[in-house]
């Protein structure tokens, strides 16, 4: 179990990127959902001991990782948003090099580790190919391979499917799902579908603050009866925003479908729809935007 209590982080320029974050993250897949600039990467770097929070405590398996960061680093696998490698090195050699850095000194042990991981992420057939020639999805699968070196108990993946085509995204998510059965995996993303597909528990972070936490199915159930939809002309959108609490709009077959939040039947041609996690997410963002200005430090960071 990963426990965060009252974690805040203020950068040297005064920007508050995290604001009193308290979370309990159990074994399995856990989704951290939020828009760009919400503080997700700051939180992941803090959990990964790459920076020390201004205040608060973080424990993993009962160990205070702020006091003893090495205890976590030995058990941590991390795939950051910007994962840099030597592009002209082959996948096999790069993974072997990273295994050395992770402390696997025996050549035989490294061979077993590298070969197992390359097969696990389905890169064995391209093991001799330079990483520069990999597709985006192949690079992300390689990133997971390096994160799995040493059999970590905690794995952090930050925006892992951004920019992937649908086929690569599905392949990558299936890989994450298999990994998440036995360890703690934190999936930090702004893509709602990734969390909906994978995570039995999740939270929404906005402007450095946890605004919502729980099981996706429970959060969706709470929205029942409050989500209403209508197809409108695009030119009408401004007027509808002034009259209703619009939480999302989308195009389908060239038509604009607007979703609004209302506890009672708004009439005007709206029909009740079963809300999804996207509606829960967008309604949370809408509620946050209604709050008084001045809490946008995380976005500025």
What gap in Å lies between CA 238 and CA 153, rounded to an integer?
49
Average confidence (pLDDT) over 113-122 = 92
Q: What is the pLDDT of residue 301?
A: 45
Distance separating the N- and C-terminal Cα atoms of the chain:
28
Query: What DSSP assignment string belongs to 194-228?
Result: HHHHH-SEEEEEETTEEEEEE-HHHHHHHTTT-EE
Distances (CA, A) of 135 to 28, 131, 144, 213, 243: 28, 9, 14, 34, 46
CA neighbor of 179 nearest in space, from 152, 201, 214: 152
Q: Which of 162, 161, 184 is nearest to 174 (CA)?
A: 161
Mean pLDDT of 244-248: 90
Question: What residues contact 150, with CB distance under 8 A and at least 6 apart?
Answer: 74, 75, 77, 102, 103, 104
Q: What is d(CA 165, CA 163) in angstroms, rounded to the nearest whole number?
A: 7
pLDDT of residue 299 exceeding 60, the answer is no
**Residue 28 binned pLDDT confidence (cut-offs 50, 70, 90):** very high
8 A C-beta contact, residue 259 and residue 227: yes
Coil vs helix vs strand at 250: strand
Residue 211 · residue 256 · CB < 8 Å: no
pLDDT at position 136 over 60? yes
pLDDT at residue 84, rounded to an integer? 67
Calculate the CA dihedral of residues 245, 248, 249, 252 and round it to 10 degrees: -130
Q: How many CB atoms lie within 10 A of CB 56?
A: 17
- Domain 2-216 is in which class? alpha beta
Q: Are 194 and 158 in contact (CB under 8 A)?
A: no
Are 20 and 6 contacting, i.e. CB atoms less than 8 angstroms apart?
yes
Work out the mean pLDDT of the chain and round it to a whole number: 89
Residue 297: pLDDT over 70:
no
pLDDT of 24 over the 50 cut: yes
pLDDT digits (tens, 9 = 90+) for 188-198: 998 899 999 89
User: Among all chains, which residue has been given the structure tokens 């997410």?
Assistant: 281
Per-residue model confidence (pLDDT) at position 81:
75
Largest distance between two CA atoms of the chain: 71
């Amino acid at each position: 179990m990963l426990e965060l209590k009252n974690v805040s982080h203020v950068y040297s320029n005064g920007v508050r990127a995290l604001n009193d974050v308290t979370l309990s993250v159990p074994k399995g897949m856990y989704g951290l959902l939020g828009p760009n600039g919400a503080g997700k990467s700051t939180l992941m770097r803090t959990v990964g001991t790459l920076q020390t929070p201004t205040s608060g405590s973080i424990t993993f398996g009962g160990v205070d990782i702020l006091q003893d960061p090495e205890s976590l680093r030995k058990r941590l696998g991390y795939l950051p948003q910007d994962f840099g490698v030597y592009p002209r090195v082959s996948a096999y050699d790069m993974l072997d090099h990273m295994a050395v850095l992770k402390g696997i000194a025996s050549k035989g042990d490294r061979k077993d580790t590298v070969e197992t991981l390359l097969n696990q992420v389905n890169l064995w057939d391209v093991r001799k190919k330079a990483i520069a020639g990999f597709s985006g999805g192949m690079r992300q699968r390689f990133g997971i391979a390096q994160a799995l070196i040493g059999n970590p108990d905690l794995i952090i993946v930050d925006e892992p499917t951004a920019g992937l085509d649908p086929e690569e995204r599905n392949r990558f998510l299936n890989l994450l799902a298999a990994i998440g059965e036995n360890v703690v995996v934190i999936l930090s993303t702004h893509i709602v579908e990734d969390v909906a597909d994978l995570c039995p528990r999740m939270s929404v972070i906005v402007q450095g603050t946890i605004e919502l936490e729980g099981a996706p199915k429970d959060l969706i159930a709470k929205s029942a009866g409050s989500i209403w939809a209508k197809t409108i002309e695009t030119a009408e959108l401004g007027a509808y925003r002034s009259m209703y609490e619009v939480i999302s709009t989308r195009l389908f077959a060239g038509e604009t479908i607007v979703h609004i939040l209302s506890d009672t039947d708004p009439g005007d041609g709206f029909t009740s729809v079963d809300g999804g996690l996207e509606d829960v997410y967008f309604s949370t963002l809408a509620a946050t935007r209604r709050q008084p200005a001045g809490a946008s430090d995380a976005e500025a960071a």
